[in-house]
Amino acid sequence: MTFYNSISCKNSVARLVTVTFVSLLLGSVALAQGNAQAGAGLTTVCVACHGMTGNENTLPNVPKLGGQGEKYLLKQLLEIKSGVRAVPLMTGMLTTLNDQNLADVAAYYSSLAAPEGAVEESKLALGEKVFRAGIASIGVAACSACHAPDGKGNAAAGFPTLNGQNTAYTDLQLRAWRAGERTNDEAEVMRTITARMNDAEIAAVASYVSGLR
């Protein structure tokens, strides 16, 4: 069993390294350059759920957007519009926006101040352990490998910022990855990792990253 777990862990780390490399290569592909000022004028309808700062709504299925990586935001907007990522609350909202419009919206939200959150004390120890060290016994790599020790992600690779995010939203997304309800992860990395995590581990990580600074 120890040998199996060791191999699983090495495979997970290798997969993460590969995805990081591929993502960096993809970063060189020409994408529409976003204009934050133009994007500000396109977000009137977004305010209802995300607020003026992009971080004001605490509904569990609505993320905080302020300060999020521009590349990550653009990818999500494009995939929500195309149907690759299903977000019922946004159905039809992006149909009139072209790729340049979406790039502008992404640039605008990325330019806003990042949110701040807090960790629940009872989840601190487990959340920190999983985020920083992973769970070697079941082949779960450290979250910090892709999302950085401070939770600010990797903008060039398109890995999202996690710190300050609504705990309930992060928890919901991790469970969606695990259930296969969300599938727009490169090389199925998030689905593979969350498939090995239990509810307590997911809840702890979601709380921990919210409080990172």
SS3 154: strand
- pLDDT at residue 21 is higher than 80: no
32 DSSP 8-state letter: P
pLDDT tens digit sequence for 168-198 = 999 999 999 999 999 999 999 999 999 999 9
Model confidence band, residue 133 (pLDDT cutoffs 50, 70, 90): very high
Sequence-separated (6 or more) residues with CB below 8 Å from residue 193 = 12, 140, 141, 177
* DSSP conformational letter for 135: B
Class of domain 2-27+116-210: mainly alpha
Could you check whether 2-27+116-210 and 36-111 share the same CATH topology? yes
- Helix or strand or coil: residue 173? helix
Cα gap 13→189, rounded to integer Å: 10
Listed by start position, the domains of the chain span 2-27+116-210, 36-111
The domain 36-111 is placed in CATH, from the list 3.40.50.300, 1.10.340.30, 1.10.760.10, 3.30.465.10, at: 1.10.760.10
pLDDT tens profile 62-78: 999 999 999 999 999 99
Among 146, 130, 132, smallest CA distance to 202 is for: 130
Please state the φ and ψ torsions of residue 182, each to the nearest 5 degrees. -120, 130
pLDDT, position 79: 98
Record the pTM. Answer: 0.85
**85 backbone dihedrals φ, ψ, rounded to 5°:** -115, 120
Average model confidence (pLDDT) across the chain = 88
pLDDT tens for each residue of 142-151: 999 999 999 9
Q: How far from each other are the two terminal CA atoms of the chain, in whole angstroms?
A: 37
CA distance 134 to 131: 6
Q: Given a cut of 90, is residue 92 above it in pLDDT?
A: yes
More reliable by pLDDT, 2 or 115: 115
Name the residue with higher pLDDT: 196 or 12: 196
Chain center to CA of 130: 16
